[in-house]
Structure 1
Amino acid sequence: MTSSDSQLLNPEACRAARALLRWSMRDLAAAAGVSLETVLRIEQGAGPFKQGTLTKLCDAFAAEGVDVVVEPARSGATIDHRARGGAADG
């Protein structure tokens, strides 16, 4: 992964991560310590954004066991249910 902002978090991955947690944009803004307007702009792709802002969002997702995936061939999010206190399958 490169250090460019677009590789840290993109609109699709942000929406996917938020959906996994069943968070509203307001929930994400509160968890990340950013404004609702910032979340809206990120999900619309209306950047550029400071890396620190994107890191706050990724950290909020990670705190809930969600990893954001942004790669050339795919983007989205995965959830580790064990990190959220759920039982692991298998």
Structure 2
Amino acid sequence: MSKERYGIRRFALLNTAGYSLGLFPLEEPLSVYGANNLGKSASINALQFPILARMSDMSFGKYSLEQSRKFYFASDTSYILVEVALPHGPHVI
């Protein structure tokens, strides 16, 4: 009998970090690859927003927190979403 695994199932970027729509399945190992300046680091760094409670705990390399916030949330239609499996069912944050 297998146990239910809880945690992040999927990750989505909508109108943010250079993506109009970026979907990342995270139930299994995932490799992200591509040429320079295509958004690989930006997509991985975006995971900090739904995971960390405070921006002061986040790190965006050479960019300040304010520069990063403006980059990821440039408009009111910019979203970073995660689907999380919890004991009482799936939720989107």
TM over 0.5: no
> Larger strand proportion, structure 1 or 2?
2
Question: Taking structure 2 as the reference length, what is the TM-score of the superposition?
Answer: 0.26
> Larger helix proportion, structure 1 or 2?
1
Question: Taking structure 1 as the reference length, what is the TM-score of the superposition?
Answer: 0.26
